[in-house]
Amino acid sequence: MSLRLRETYQVQFDSIDFAGKMSLNGICNYMQIIAAHHASNLGFNYYKNSTMPEYYWILSRVKYVIDTYPTWEDKIQIETYPGGCEKLFAVRLFDICDIEGKKLGYIIGDYILMDAAKKRPARIKGNTGSLAFLDFPYEGESLPKLKVPRKGESYEVLNRERRKAYYSEMDLNGHMNNAHYVRWTLDMLPLELLKEKEVSSLEINYNTSITYGTEVEIILTLDERDGYMVYGNSLDGETNYFAARVCLR
């Protein structure tokens, strides 16, 4: 059995942005599709007829690096494969190429296997059965924990908005789907800026699940190194739901 899966997609109209290029939301959607197909092939996709099983996967951290964006009706290939284990994370890797095989970008995803009954992470290392495919050390680029300002810590705010999570944004776990965090993050950047530059990379830490009806204060600020940081916090500032780092070129 191959540990790699490659699928071909044609960029549809609903996956492009105002500039006619494929959006990161669209890339995220294809990432989720091929990841589910691949997990099913290897025997550890735990969703069966929408019934909650013993375990389920959550995406904890992710990094998108896009060198060249495809455009409407372009055909792209996405190949996914296990990267190994890093602490509690099962690392999944994705390579994005054009139809001729030229690499357009890549994605690194850190996933956690959750015990549905105990509602806490389950260990992958030492697991038997189908999960044995994942039990080897990860040796690639690690995704860091993004720094989140403490409550009361001062920093320059470039933009601040409030959003509410609606039912159309929920997944089978009752949490907001990963692609909507991407959208919420990039919506904080001014259109005028995105007309001049494009996103070269996006990192997201999913720190606390956003559920239906949750109101979130989203804050845009400059990154200490370069680019921008986006934080999604509870209205009282006590909980950070997500942190994201965006770099432009």
β-bridge mates for residue 246, sequence order: 202, 228
CATH 3.30.1330.10 fits 5-134, yes or no: no
* pLDDT tens digits along 48-104: 555 667 788 999 999 999 999 999 999 999 999 999 999 999 999 999 999 999 999
Domains 5-134 and 159-248 share a fold: yes
Q: What is the pLDDT of residue 228?
A: 98
159-248 folds as Thiol Ester Dehydrase; Chain A (3.10.129)
Distance from C-alpha of 160 to C-alpha of 220, rounded to nearest angstrom: 6
* pLDDT tens digits along 111-149: 999 888 888 998 888 877 778 889 999 999 999 999 999
Residue-wise burial string across 149-178, b where 16 or more C-beta atoms lie within 10 A, e elsewhere:
beeeeeeeeeeeeebebeeebbeebebbbb
Domain-wise residue ranges, the chain: 5-134, 159-248
DSSP secondary structure letter of residue 90: E
